[in-house]
Amino acid sequence: MRTIWLASYPKSGNTWLRMLIANLSAKDDAPVDINDLPERGGIASARGPFDYLTLIDSSLLTHDEIDALRPRVYEQLASGAQDDEYDKPENVPPARFVKVHDAYSLTPKGEPLLAGARGAEAAIVIVRDPRDVAPSLANHSAISIDEAIAFMSYNESGFCGKTHRQHSQLRQKLAGWSGHIASWLDQADIPVHLMRYEDLQADTFGALRRALDFVGRPASEDDMRRAVAFADFAQLRQQEPTKAFARRRGRGRAAVSSAAARRAAGATSFRPNRSHASKANTPA
């Protein structure tokens, strides 16, 4: 089965896109519940598949030791290895779309953490205006907006990197907001389709169509219309009442000063625009 990364900085619409893709295979009138999105294999940094395939208790390894083995795990999964003992689903989807928040980086041994072309065929990279990411991240992580901006500006920041406790996921180096997007656009291992969150919001059908065309995932117009309807915000909100899960365009943006936003976007002042869409990185 083909593997496609759904790569994004946190709070940038990754789950929404996963919902859209999962609902392409939804049956009739039954939306795929957000809680049914597979956790296993659902995100590249999941601990379970690593432990399952390596036989090693990852809690006995350092973050760097884990990173050194991660490419081997992604190669196995991309070549069809199961990641758990669940029975295989009856209808195997045509491709594995795997969420990933890690920046595109190299392991301590100098190989791509995500195993380059052996780990996935391509990536859909979602980018969202950092002025909207900041309040969403603040809310998600229960920190102030200033703290969220500092986190987004710091190129050493990441998730699950503490050393005195065990996180449910493996460490993810995020490289800061601008470092994150640059890492994915600058790598030359796999082709990238850049999707703007704002475009997905303005024209969900069209943005989804372009992404699916890019990865060669066939979908009928009916399937796509149903997926768009099922993945609608109202459905998400209804299905996940206990989590502060929301796509809130602009909400909280007023609280982010333009200077702060520039800090968050970093020195590269990356401005996502349509000319980046479907930028295919071919090996140099």
**CA distances from residue 59 to 77, 161, 192, 274 in whole angstroms, order as listed:** 21, 12, 33, 43
Establish if 47 lies at the interface with another protein (CB under 8 A).
yes
**Amino acid at position 59, single letter:** S
Q: Give the nearest distance from C-beta 165 to another protein in angstroms.
A: 4
Q: What is the DSSP string of 29-83?
A: TBPPPGGGS-STTTBTTBHHHHHHHH-S-GGGS-HHHHHHHHHHHHHHHHTT--S
Establish if 58 lies at the interface with another protein (CB under 8 A).
yes
Where does this chain touch another protein (CB under 8 A) — which range of 66-74, 114-122, 175-183, 205-213?
A: 66-74
Q: Give the nearest distance from C-beta 121 to another protein in angstroms.
A: 20
Establish if 35 lies at the interface with another protein (CB under 8 A).
yes
Q: Give the nearest distance from C-beta 70 to another protein in angstroms.
A: 10
Rounded to whole angstroms, the Cα distance separating 255 from 234 reads 25
State the Cα angle at 82 between 81 and 85, rounded to 5°: 150
Backbone angles phi, psi at 108, to 5 degrees: -55, -25
Where does this chain touch another protein (CB under 8 A) — which range of 60-68, 172-180, 194-202, 213-221?
A: 60-68
Establish if 106 lies at the interface with another protein (CB under 8 A).
no
Establish if 33 lies at the interface with another protein (CB under 8 A).
yes
Task: Tell me whether residue 91 or residue 242 sits nearer to another protein (CB atom).
Answer: 242
CA 126 to chain centre: 8
Binding site for another protein (CB under 8 A): 33, 35, 47-48, 51-62, 65, 68-69, 72-73, 76, 82, 84-87, 163-168, 240, 242-243
